[in-house]
Structure 1
């Protein structure tokens, strides 16, 4: 929830290699005030079955920049049958793609930094696959 003095952030992830939401991706949120401000870790969450992260921490008053860190290597490792929560069906969907290391992910993490204005909401979707990603300001 935003007020006139704070911004708010939400995100979701679509795994474009399988055309489905990316469930269980850990996300951490950091914020700072001003270009020279120190980053403050605010905590994090993980995406739900719909690929959404609905419970990110609130931003402190005066926040001017936000950083979202997405832990993608763990997600792709488990999806490709290399982690505890693997699914053979998802791993089969990736069978024709080239392998990158043992994790199946070229980008082991994705960090997105963006500027915010007080009172505005920022929805930042991540379109993800093992070899690339795209991000944009959603609505």
Structure 2
């Protein structure tokens, strides 16, 4: 069965990004529909897949990671508005049975992502 997972790593500290709000949207043209909202745990992961089962279908999706509140909780002073207030990652799921893992590596002024395993 296919599933979508993520995790967040704070590369500035070398630690998992915990308690970060993550929203998953389905993208259809210019319209986005919120499907799920989760928070990362102490290990920077979600407690369960963000998407799975009958809802896991091919298409275009968007993950929104609310990183600014996380950095503020870490005591990092950010300009307002923060340079990376939210990190938005759009991606496609081509196969309905594969595991897609979308990790986020963050720092106050940069981020990167890749298709993980």
**Is this a same-fold pair by TM over 0.5?**
yes
Q: Which residue number corresponds to residue 48 of structure 1?
A: 41
Can you list the C-alpha shifts for 1:45-69, whole angstroms capped at 9, x where unaligned? 0000000013324372544111100
Q: Which residue number corresponds to residue 60 of structure 1?
A: 55
Q: Which of 59, 69, 87 is the aligned partner of 1:110?
A: 87
- Say yes or no: does 1:127 pair with 2:105: yes
Provide the TM-score with structure 1 as the length reference: 0.72
Q: CA RMSD in A?
A: 2.2
Note the residue ranges of structure 1 that are not aligned, 5 or more in a row: 3-7, 81-90, 92-98
Shift of 1:37: 7.2
Larger Cα-atom Rg: 1
Note the residue ranges of structure 2 that are not aligned, 5 or more in a row: none
Q: Which residue number corresponds to residue 71 of structure 1?
A: 66
Provide the TM-score with structure 2 as the length reference: 0.85
Shift of 1:17: 0.4
Q: Partner of 1:112: helix, strand, or coil?
A: strand
Q: Is the 8 A contact 1:31 1:63 kept in 2?
A: no
State how many pairs are aligned: 114
Q: Which of 6, 18, 25 is the aligned partner of 1:23?
A: 18
